Each structure stands twice: as structure tokens, then as C-alpha cells.
Structure 1
Amino acid sequence: MATLYLFSALLLTALVSVPINVSGSAYCGPVEATDKDLVQFPLNLEFLEAEFFLSGALGHGLDAIEPDFAGGGPPPIGAQKANLDPVTLPINVSGSAYCGPVEATDKDLVQFPLNLEFLEAEFFLSGALGHGLDAIEPDFAGGGPPPIGAQKANLDPVTVKSSRNLVTKKAIITAVGGIPRPLYDLSPKAFAQLFDKAVGYKLNPPFNPYSNTVNYLLASYAIPYVGLVGYVGTIPYLTTYSSRALVASLLGVESGQDAVIRTLLYEKAHEKVMPYNITVAEFTNAISFLRNKLAMCGVRDEGLIVPLPLGAENRTESNILSADTNSRSYARTQPQILRIVYGTGSEYKPGGFLPRGGNGKIARSFLDKA
């Protein structure tokens, strides 16, 4: 049961910060050791936490994700997948995947989001107008190939107007130069695979984002938010005022895009998406859960209806804006974003919307190491 699992998790994490002691029953003073040895010692507990949380949530431990971390040590005895509810399942531990920032110049950090901005532009333009960037700003593509499978969607007039306004501006390219547009797979098949993975089984008929307004909005839900949290995660590591000002302004627009999509979906939150007998809110929760699972760095993504512990300030289950319990935006790093948009859970393994991987120095640096 999830409750027993959480109690066990609490005991494990308590070992780090609340050691049991009795005055005089054992030596309670410090040990003499080098900084290196003192810093290495907590790895005994970090390994313990990582193996327990990974096995409980995913059914496998560190050897399946970062085999080199074990340093030749044996696998744990008896760890197994737990029977968890969807809220408990995303629990993760630092060390199961790298969750920190990458070292990069401002130019590279600002260029990286173009991988997502191109994706959004091609999807929203094609869905609303039936054509992509090549028909509007052909120079923006930088010689990159057109997307696979993008097409005009069967949308109501309000959604058509909204989609036309969700196309990003040319501020990044003007400020720091562009990158070649990566190859995108925006075919119905690519989205069907994403939604199958989110719900945990093959939908019948396969999910088609272009068939109607609700499907298109659900597919749209899967895109801008990843860029939003990426901008939040980038700003603290930019060194110049001009870079921070640029990304802050883009973050405002990206937040607005996500809010429009979430609001339109929230109006239909409890409606069933036919013919799947799954509500709109349930689909958004499944997509958010999948993104948390792929990124492997804890809960930084939430659907439209959430349990109180995940709601704004723990007071509401309604979740039009995705934010932490203090109503602050979540943040993600570049590796986390690549794990999500590739759909593979690895920044080293392309797939999903980017079958050949992203472009720019940051994205290519991971592919060069693959």
C-alpha cells in the first residue's frame, strides 16, 4: 500500500537528519577525516535512498539507469516495485538522474529553447492554418528540414484564433542567432504513441490530435509547459542583464500560452474524451505524470485536478496554473527537458517529437556522447 511505502520512505530519509542517540551510550563526537572522506560518507545513505525509491516507483534500481555509479558494488537484496497510487509514484531521489544545471554560455542557454519554440510554432501554425514556418518565415529554419506529419486540425473558431497567437516571436534569433530547425515528428502516430505511454495502454482508436478541438487542446497541453519550466530553470544561470531580460520576457509569453491552453481545457475538465471514456482532467494528469517520470527529478508537473497536497498552498484541488505548494513556478534543466521531448527518459537517446535529436551546442553535446 502507498501509505506503508510512504512510512518506510519517511524512516529512510529521517536517517539522514535525525540520528537516534543516548548520552554516554556511545561516542557522540566527530571523527577526524579529510573533506573528501566526509563528503563521500553520505553516499552510503544516498545509495540506500536511490535503490529504494527507484525500485519502488519503477521496478529497477541504479544499475538500470546509471550503472557506473555503483563503482562495482553489488545490487541490493530484495528491492521490488511497490503497488503505488499515481500521486506517490512520482517520488524520486536526487542521484537517480542528474537534475542540476549544465555549464554553458549565455548564448547556448538562450538558443536551447529554440528546440521547443520551433516545435510549438510548427504545431500551432499547422493546426490552425495548415502550413508551418516555411510559409511565413522561411529564413527562421536555418536550413533545417520541415516537420513530419503536421497537418491542419478540425478546430472551432476560438481555438483557431488562439493557436495563431501562440506562435513564438523572433526575439531569440534576433538576439543570439538561430540554430538549424531540427527534424520534428508531429504525425498522428507520434502523438498516439505519447498518449498510449501516458495512459499505460494502446488507445483504440489511436489518439489523433488533429481530429477535433478537444484532442488538439490535449496535444497542445503536452508542449508549451515544457518550455515554460525550461525558461524558469534557465534564468538563474544567465550572466548578463540582456540575456536575463530576454528570457524573462519570453517566459511571460510562454506562461500566457500555457494558461490559455489550461483554461480552455479546465472548462471541459470533467467531460469524457470520446471514445476513450477518460476525462479531460484524467488525460492531463496522465501526461503530467509521464513527464515527471521521464524527467526523473521529482514532481514538477501537475494536471488540472490534483490532490490537496499538490494544490496551491495545499488549499485547492483545482489547478488551472501548475505551480508548487507556495504558488511558485516549477523549473527544469536542459537534460530534463530533452528526456521529456525525446520521450525516452534520456538526454542521450532521441525519439518522440525529435527523432534525430535537438540542435544547438547543448543538445548536440549529449548526442555526441551517446
Structure 2
Amino acid sequence: MKPLALTMGDPAGIGGELSLKAWLALRESGIAFVALDDPVRLRQLALDQGLVVPLRTVRHADEATEAFQSALPVLAVPLASAAIPGRPDPANAVAVVASIEQATKLALAGTVGAVVTNPINKAGLYRAGFPFPGHTEFLAELTGATGQQIMMLVSPMLRVVPVTVHASLRDSIEMLTTEMIVAAGRTTATALRRDFGIASPRLAIAGLNPHAGERGALGTEETTLVRPAIDVLRAERIEVSGPWPPDTMFTAAARSRYDVAICMYHDQALIPLKTLDMDHGVNVTLGLPIVRTSPDHGTAFDIAGKGVADATSLLAAIALAGELARRRRA
């Protein structure tokens, strides 16, 4: 199997120490990856935290598999300024973006099997002129899939897809359309079949309003937006149910009746997933010509450099990226 590409994330966050811990956990029998990062930063992090992680700077990603058991392979992406844990520096935004760009190019060329992204500081990138809401939209631009990208959050207990993502609640409601719901359903069904090996995926569509609108008493969007989308998806032979009342569709009994919940906005999807299984949550971008996953947490500046960051979600993201890459290759 080809190695995975692991981006640096924000240099002041926990991404670097998670990369080191992931190598320690996987070096003997796990999935090989190459870190697109600053080796000086990683070496200092390992020293500061007492982690015995030898590094090997490589010139080509395909050297990573052979090197992985003895050292963490690094494709060097130099920082403009020395990274200080917990103190993001706008001067390093160029390196953060370059790490993502290079990883994506390697995946498009087939040199790596998938891209796993460490968390970025969106606000810091915005101040440096980054024009995209987040990783998802940037990766879509880099891969020529703008408008096709869909964010899915995956854990062993639940899969969720928010139809609207990085927007305020007010804006999310205003921008929601039947066509967006249909597009999310189509892309999700295709991905579940191709990448997750589910022959006949079952999609549960959430309502927007309390009690799914209570037959119009608490809102009409279920009738005007959601049900027409369900009708279109059913006509395309996609197994879909709903609209479900959002307050009851995430119980254990309800979750057993579907493979993914299509939700109308960000928190409607992410709150139940993170409540049920924060540690093992993985962010997957659907609709791209490459496989991309990410841990389901942020930069955690408050604990960066303290040695307490938990690599469980990153390890889950690496494992899922390897699984999806194998299925897609097959």
C-alpha cells in the first residue's frame, strides 16, 4: 500500500505532537505516512516532550514506506518563523497552505494513497488572506471539484453529513435549498457504495425545525424543501427516509435503521456525533478525486506543547484513510 500524506496543520497547535505520537503507535505494524512538515519543528517538539522519534528527511514521498519502521519520514516544508506552542503566527500561514497543496498534488499524482490533514487555525489563515472557509473548500478547489465537496463525519457509532457547513445558523437556513439536499444525498450514497463498501446505503434525512415542522405548525421547510428532495432521491433508487425529527433521530434504536444522517446544518450533525464518540470521530471529504480525512477536533492551542494531546482521533483518521484508499484502489 502507498504511504499516506500527513499535513502539518497549524504549527502552534497540537498537530505536530499528534504526528509524533501517531508514528510511535504505528511504526511497527501500522499504516506508513509521510509528514509534510518542518523537521526542525518536529525535532524540537520531540525533544521538549521526551518523545523518542527519529526523523528522516526524504526527497520523495515513495521513500516513506521503507523508512517508516526506523524513522518518521518528513518531506520538508520550512516555517518562516519558529513555532511557539499555543501562539499562532501569521508568518507561518504560507507553510500551512503549502503543506496542504503539496499533499494534494501527491495524492492526485497517485504517489500517496490519501491525504490526512492536521487541524488548521481558520481565523489565522483568514487574516493572512486565505480565501476559503476551510480545508473542505480549499481541497475542492485544488482538485477541480468545487461545488461537489461534501463533509462527512464518521465514528463507529454514527455517520453524519451536514448539508450547509461553515456558515452562521441564520445564513445556513437562508441558503438551504432542495437542490443542495439532493446533491448531498447523491454524493453520500455514491461514497458509501464506493468507499465504504455499503451496497445499498440507507439515508435518513433530518428535518430543519423542531418535530420536523409538526405538519407545518412549527415551520414549513420540511414540506417546501426537504420532502421534494426525498422524492427526487427515491426516484433515483436511493433508499432514503424522513424528514426525521432531529431530537429523536440519534437514539440507539433510530441509528440502527440508517447508515448516515443527512442534516440541514453544521451543529445539527456534529453535536450528536461528538457527544456519542468525540475521540474516534473522523472528518471525511466526499466528492473529491482523492481520499481525504482529518481528526474531528481543532488546534487546541490551550494544551499545545504540554504533552497531553490525545492522538486517538488522528489515528482513527489515518486508519480510515487507509481503508478508503484500499477500497477505492480496488
- For the superposition of Structure 1 and Structure 2, which TM-score range results when normalised by the shorter chain? under 0.3
More strand per residue? 2
- Greater radius of gyration (CA): 1
More helix per residue? 1
User: Which TM-score applies when normalising by structure 1?
Assistant: 0.23
User: Which TM-score applies when normalising by structure 2?
Assistant: 0.25
Q: Which structure carries more relative contact order (alpha carbon 8 Å, separation 6+)?
A: 2
